[in-house]
Amino acid sequence: MLRFIVVLVLALMTLALQANTTDAEMTEMNKSGVVEANITLNASEQSWYIFHNDGLQTVFINQFNEHPSASAGWGTKLSYNKYAMLALNNRKLVFYCGILEDKTFKTIPCNKYIHISKVLSATVRHGTAGSFWVAEDVTLQQLKDKAAKRDIVVNY
């Protein structure tokens, strides 16, 4: 039930906080007097991104979308010191972040908690391609294991 409420709040926030952003990874936005740092990922070819939450709170990451009904699947939860990996192919996604504070969703600057690294080298077998979450809200070792199950090996 809590997950449903959070997804609903994120969907409503998507409608309320539409933004135009540049292709920079972290972008400043000013909408209705609120300054936010959003995440913009722009992949012209198959790319992989690793998200890490080094803040002390669970962060909800959701996609800005002009057509919110088509945004299902791009939101994720990232707990303290957990990781997520996103595969992205020929897409541009803009995310915003928020936390639950006293049972209220509060939009926060993503760069306050979330660090993103683009994977520069990966070995992919069996034609694994597309845009999808490879792993969500896991330890680094679990992320490596889940990626390997999808035939993606990150070369560190």
Tens digit of pLDDT at every position of the chain (156 positions): 444 443 333 333 333 333 333 333 333 433 333 445 788 888 888 888 999 999 899 999 988 766 656 555 688 999 999 999 998 888 888 889 999 999 899 999 998 899 998 888 777 777 677 888 999 999 999 999 999 898 888 876
At residue 64, the pLDDT reads 74
At residue 71, the pLDDT reads 53
At residue 24, the pLDDT reads 32
At residue 37, the pLDDT reads 79
Q: Three-state SS string across the chain, please?
A: CHHHHHHHHHHHHHHHCCCCCCCCCEEEEEECCEEEEEEEEEECCCEEEEEEECCCCCEEEEEECCCHHHCCCCCEEECCCCEEEEEECCEEEEEEEEEEECCEEEEECHHHCEEEEECCCEEECCCCCCCEEEEEEECHHHHHHHHHHCCEEECC
Any idea where the domains of the chain sit in the sequence?
Answer: 2-154
At residue 6, the pLDDT reads 39
At residue 152, the pLDDT reads 85
